[in-house]
């Protein structure tokens, strides 16, 4: 399978340690080989030598829109529909406040129980600010929960635990029939599963840069507002870089045309340029081949675990259209099992209460990696080595 | 004067180009010599080699509070009163929404006409969200404008154009007598002028990391909430890293104790670690010596310009207690004059409509630098070379 893999040469484009199998790209993507030099240049030549002139000479000022357009190409957005800014949490807050009054009959913000926590917390805080209620619907009751009284729906496209992937087109159609906008969080989708926001009718989205985009720890996030909606809504956080002419330094706020009005403060340039390197690499990839390999890695992983680790229950969907770029298994001792795996050089992660989660990212994960990982997992399960006390010790970040 | 300067050895701690005099540290501080290695290590060893484990093993997770406490030491805050997060604009928005209801009689947010634009824009947007009015008072009518109906005052400690420095203690006392909180923006103060927030009774502040802290382009910002006020107010942007136990991944938001509840999303680690390097360098400096040299550089600059460039009018205060870390001169052709200076290797900047602004940062600016700069400025004024058309061409970022 590896010999026939059209993406196999991309593994050499990452600096991956020799002694481990990294199945945690869905939490923090690894370091692209080009990035150290790009950052060293940004530090020493741009900041160190060109100093303040770099805002013009190295076009730092244009980076949020330039990188935004590159991400736009990955998610099926048009030009000037995506901008890089702030964190996913902040961007979500901005879009909730911006869009919460589009449905004049809306009284509540709807989200999904078990959504990524920050999405729920942000929606909750924003609802308080707006005087709206927050409603959490169970996943199987989500469609019915969208009513004419829903002000806004906040959904994560791919669930961070199970990897369940919502149908953006179908839910968008359903919500639109009741005049309800949806904000999609694409953090676990972008770079992992096909995205066609325009084609699917999506109007609003946010997402992070540090998972499948390999943009570095805490890489800046992005936001998407469809061109059609841009004129209608405004950012509640009216920062200077979202001004039509920031360097006029006027007391009056005049929003920039287009997506730039959702910029707020000065962006962290070093982290932004690291993100760009990850996005540029992703743009080189044939995306149908990427998604096909992702599906094949998933199938292999699921089949091997089913055969060799019967105590682990697949917690991800079987349906390829509802799966994504990571695979999850449930076990009551998932935490200790993941620690035992890490001790053997296979990096996955644990998600409370009982999920062992593995990113199977086609750019650098080989079929052999999956085979070896499940062999080791099988040994851990068979020997029961995960019962050793050392593997139950909780770390700060799990 | 340089021979007698106790800070003269700090110049070697920066990578400054040989061929220029950099008087723009108040816009973007230069590159500390230690930073390239720290960032290379963060990229290649921490991200590249330790990957996701760095959140624990290299304590990325603790960076916002660790660096916050270091900045706290620079501004006279106590432990756990400062955290690094987001941008100044975002932090200001968070504190405005958090504090706007502390004065139950308040109907308007008050700020100063000519305040840094993003502060005005953010206050305006926040006021709209809150259903409050925004009032801009002229600088000379500011004290009288603070009344029992003021919900909140938003002020920048040091004016970005003139360098005028407000009296934090006096204004805080005045406002407190009417039960009105003040949020101080310290962007042009921190690392440049003495700050004693606790001693001065200040309760709320924000500031940026990329000016006198030398934290790199768009370095993350910080926010301060006095310990006494922390229990009373909450962040409107309730992100997961402000949760008491983010890795419990619960649907219910429970704010972290202390200042950490003002964190929102995942921070940009590379930019954060660059900021830390700048802050660490600043912590090595004897601050009374820093402020004394700053005053001496100002005096020399003002005296030389007064003698050699009579067409330039000092736009900064004469009173040392009201001055700060930059000096400003007014001239109707300030833009072209600054461009002509840049062409001669002296980097200052222009601020609309008529200000030539020079950062005189004691860590790496020598008295000789000031002397040479004013010689060149004098030649430019005498020859009128700034009238050449090339110097009027506007750049994107001024």
Mean pLDDT, residues A128-134 taken together: 96
Q: Which long-range contacts (CB under 8 A, 24 or more apart) does B199-205 make?
A: B199/B76, B199/B169, B200/B76, B200/B168, B200/B169, B200/B172, B201/B169, B201/B172, B201/B173, B201/B176, B202/B168, B202/B172, B202/B226, B203/B172, B203/B228, B203/B229, B204/B95, B204/B99, B204/B229, B205/B75
B353/A50 Cα distance (integer angstroms):
25
Q: Which of B31, B214, B237 to mutate to test the interface with A (most CBs of A within 10 A)?
A: B237
CB spacing of B129 vs A239 below 8 angstroms: no
DSSP B255: B
pLDDT at B396: 82
Percent of chain A with pLDDT over 90: 98
CA-CA distances (angstroms) from residue A72 to A64, A233, A255, A267, A281?
12, 19, 21, 19, 14
Of all residues in chain A, the one with the smallest CA distance to B275 is A268
Angle between helices B269-284 and B63-75 (to 10 degrees): 30
By Cβ distance, the residue of B43, B253, B271 closest to A31 is B43
Does A236 contact B27 at a Cβ distance shorter than 8 Å?
A: no
Cβ separation B55–A397 shorter than 8 A: yes
Strand partners, A107: none
B-chain residues within 8 Å CB-CB of A46?
217
Q: Is the peptide bond before A169 cis (omega within 30 degrees of 0)?
A: no
> B214: distance to nearest CA of chain A, Å?
10
The tens-digit pLDDT sequence of chain B (398 residues) is: 999 999 999 999 999 999 999 999 999 999 999 999 999 999 999 999 999 999 999 999 999 999 999 999 999 999 999 999 999 999 999 999 999 999 999 999 999 999 999 999 999 999 999 999 999 999 999 999 999 999 999 999 999 999 999 999 999 999 999 999 999 999 999 999 999 999 999 999 999 999 999 999 999 999 999 999 999 999 999 999 999 999 999 999 999 999 999 999 999 999 999 999 999 999 999 999 999 999 999 999 999 999 999 999 999 999 999 999 999 999 999 999 999 999 999 999 999 999 999 999 999 999 999 999 999 999 999 999 999 999 999 888 87
Indicate which of A87, A345, A349 best probes the interface with B, i.e. most B CBs within 10 Å of its own CB: A87
CB of A247 less than 8 A from some CB of B? yes
Residues of B in contact with A44 (CB under 8 A): 15, 31, 36
Q: Which residues of A are catalytic?
A: 116, 185, 210-211, 357
Contact list in B for residue A243 (CB cut-off 8 A) is 117, 121
C-alpha span between B350 and B371 (Å, rounded): 20
Write down how long chain B is.
398
Q: How far is CA B293 from the centre of its chain?
A: 19
**Cα–Cα dist A367/A23, whole Å:** 12
Q: Distance between alpha carbon B34 and the CA centroid of its chain, in Å? A: 22
Residue A395 clears pLDDT 90, i.e. is over it: no
> What local confidence, expressed as pLDDT, does residue B357 receive?
97
pLDDT in tens, A308-339: 999 999 999 999 999 999 999 999 999 999 99
Residues 356 through 375 of chain A touching chain B, CB cutoff 8 Å: none
Q: Residue A339: exposed, middle, or buried by beta-carbon count in 10 A (0-12, 13-18, 19+)? A: buried
Token pair for A67: 């990188």
The pLDDT of residue A396: 81
- pLDDT of residue A149 exceeding 90: yes
- Contact residues on chain B for A347, CB-CB shorter than 8 A: 51-53
For A52, which of B28, B55, B113 is closest by C-beta distance?
B28
Which chain B positions have a beta carbon within 8 Å of A397's beta carbon? Answer: 55-56, 61, 247
Q: Which helix (H) or strand (E) holds B150?
A: strand B150-156
**A96 CA to chain B: closest CA distance, Å?**
11
Residue B108 distance to chain A (closest CA, Å)? 17
> Which chain A residue has its CA at the smallest distance from B60's CA?
A217
Structure tokens at B24: 């723009």
Evaluate whether ipTM surpasses 0.85. yes
B185 torsion bin: left (phi>0), alpha (psi -120 to 50), beta (else): beta
Q: What percent of chain A has pLDDT over 70?
A: 100
- Examine the pLDDT at A398 and tell me if it is beyond 90: no
Q: Within an 8 Å CB–CB cutoff, is residue B133 touching chain A?
A: no
Q: What does the pLDDT average to over A62-91?
A: 98
Q: How many CB pairs under 8 A join A and B?
A: 292
| Minimum Cα–Cα distance from B55: chain A residue | A397
* Residue B383, pLDDT score: 97
The model's pLDDT over A358-385, given as tens digits with 9 standing for 90+, comes to: 999 999 999 999 999 999 999 999 999 9
B274 touches chain A (CB under 8 A): yes
Sheet strands side by side (includes B133-137): B82-84, B222-225, B204-207, B182-185, B150-156, B108-112, B133-137
Q: Flag whether residue B64 sits within 8 Å of chain A, measured between CB atoms.
A: no
Residue A124 scores a pLDDT above 90: yes
| Peptide bond before residue A353 is cis, with ω within 30 degrees of 0 | yes
Write down the pLDDT at residue A225.
98
Q: Looking at beta carbons, which residues of chain B come within 8 Å of A253?
A: 117, 120-121, 124-125
- For A:294-353, CB contacts with B below 8 A are 342, 347, 349, 351-352
Distance from the Cα of A357 to chain B's closest Cα (Å) equals: 13
DSSP A360: -
């Amino acid at each position: 399978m590896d010999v026939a893999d059209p993406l196999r040469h991309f593994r050499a484009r990452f600096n991956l340690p020799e002694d481990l199998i990294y199945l945690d790209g869905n939490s923090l993507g690894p370091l692209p080989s080009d990035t150290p030099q790009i950052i060293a240049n940004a530090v020493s030549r741009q900041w160190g030598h060109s100093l303040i002139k770099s805002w013009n000479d190295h076009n730092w000022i244009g980076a949020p829109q330039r990188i935004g357009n590159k991400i736009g190409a990955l998610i099926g957005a048009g030009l000037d529909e995506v901008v890089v800014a702030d964190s996913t949490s902040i961007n979500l807050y901005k879009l909730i406040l911006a869009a919460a009054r589009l449905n004049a009959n809306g009284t509540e913000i709807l989200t999904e129980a078990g959504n990524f926590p920050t999405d729920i917390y942000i929606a909750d805080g924003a609802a308080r600010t707006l005087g709206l209620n927050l409603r959490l619907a169970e996943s199987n009751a989500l469609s019915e929960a969208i009513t004419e009284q829903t002000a806004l729906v906040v959904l994560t496209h791919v669930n961070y635990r199970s990897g369940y992937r919502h149908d953006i087109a179908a839910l968008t159609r359903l919500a639109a029939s009741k005049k309800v906008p949806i904000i999609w969080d694409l953090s676990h989708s972008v770079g992992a599963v096909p995205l066609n926001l325009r084609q699917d009718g999506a109007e609003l989205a946010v997402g992070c840069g540090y998972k499948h985009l390999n943009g570095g720890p805490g890489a800046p996030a992005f936001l998407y507002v469809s061109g059609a909606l841009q004129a209608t809504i405004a950012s509640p956080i009216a920062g200077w870089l979202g001004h039509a002419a920031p360097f006029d330094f006027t007391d009056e706020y005049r929003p920039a045309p287009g997506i730039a009005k959702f910029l707020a403060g000065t962006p962290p340039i070093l982290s932004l340029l690291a993100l760009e390197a990850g996005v540029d690499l992703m743009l080189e990839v044939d995306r149908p081949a990427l998604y096909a390999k992702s599906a094949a890695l998933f199938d292999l992983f699921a089949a091997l675990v089913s055969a060799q680790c019967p105590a682990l229950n697949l917690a991800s969907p079987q349906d390829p259209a509802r799966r994504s770029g990571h695979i999850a298994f449930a076990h009551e001792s998932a935490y200790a099992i993941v620690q035992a795996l890490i001790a053997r050089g296979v990096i996955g992660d644990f998600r409370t209460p009982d999920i062992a989660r593995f990113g199977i990212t086609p750019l650098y994960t080989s079929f052999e990696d999956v085979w070896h990982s499940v062999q080791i997992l099988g040994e851990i399960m068979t020997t029961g080595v995960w019962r050793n006390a050392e593997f139950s010790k909780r770390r700060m970040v799990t």
